[in-house]
Amino acid sequence: MDVLSTKGLSKVYKGHFAVKDVAMHIEKGDIYGFVGENGAGKTTLIRLVTGLAAPTAGKYALFGVPNRDKGIYEARRKTAAIVETATIAKNMTAIENLKMQCLITGTARSDEELEALIDRVGLDAEGLRKKKVGNFSLGMRQRLGIAMVMVSDPEFVILDEPMNGLDPQGFIEVRETILKLHREGVTFLISSHILSELEKICTKIGVISHGELLEEISMEDLHRKARRRIVITADEPERIGGLLAVAGISQEIEQQGNEILVFGDADINAIMKTLVENGVTIRSINALEETVEDYYIRLLGRGKIA
């Protein structure tokens, strides 16, 4: 089931597409990383699907409910978001901020429930009972922000750049909070301009650049695309897999058009020798070692050209 889906979603500001024809699919149980450079359109799209801005064109659905349907208001009750930054009063304690959030959202929670929520996001409710939020580290404030959106017990949480400005310890703390809530059944959409921040926690990513969604891919497939491989362009590509298998080169082999991809640590010289001895004309052969970040940068480069 799609928790969020969009089709042709677009937003124009002053004659410029901030978001253009985006088709996104977030399934129940995803931690969806929404990644792109600053100004790519991430926050604009988040504002559209949270109802803070109206689409110029296209549509979206939350929990299967179309955005033009009256039921969208009920679907939004299952959703909570921090757009840009969490609104936190630094002169108040953690539990006082949560009580304020309860008033804003019309949610009834006892002090015991709020203290349990503080503990749930990795903070110490007892130890922070009297401490003002202004004395919290940035990582602690980010986790408190997550606790604030969890007041209404949402099924789908949207976090806009939650890792921004965090030191390594703060990043670990926020990451562990997200993973803990995910294990408890929460679906996430998390935006960032740095893929390495999302790589360790996301199940799927969508790459956006200049308002256009360039690719939507599972992390498993992304790691597969980015791993070491030998790329062969040759005549009769359909023969290559069988010839390499007979020669004992048993790595995973995949054909993409006229290209043959041999994944893993295969010996490029052994491959060339096998193909030449069997009369295969090699047009090109290259060994590629690419990180996930390399793949992302290359993808952004294609987006700019487009």
pLDDT tens figures, 236-254: 888 888 888 888 886 678 8
pLDDT at position 170: 85
The whole-number average pLDDT for the span 16-37 is 95
Structural domains of the chain in order of their starting residue, each with its CATH number: 228-289 (3.30.70.100)
pLDDT at position 6: 97
Residue type, 216: E
Distance between start and end Cα atoms, the chain: 32
Task: Grade residue 306 by pLDDT with cuts at 50, 70 and 90.
Answer: very low
Task: Grade residue 38 by pLDDT with cuts at 50, 70 and 90.
Answer: confident
| pLDDT above 90 as % of the chain | 56
pLDDT at position 252: 79
Say whether pTM exceeds 0.75: yes
pLDDT at position 237: 87
**Residues forming beta bridges with residue 234, ordered by sequence position:** 282
Q: Residues 7, 150: contact at Cβ < 8 Å?
A: no
The whole-number average pLDDT for the span 295-303 is 72
| pLDDT above 70 as % of the chain | 98
Question: Is 143's pLDDT higher than 50?
Answer: yes
Half-sphere exposure of 244 (CA within 13 A, CB side): 24
Based on the number of CB atoms within 10 Å of its own CB, is 247 exposed (0-12), middle (13-18) or buried (19 or more)? Answer: middle
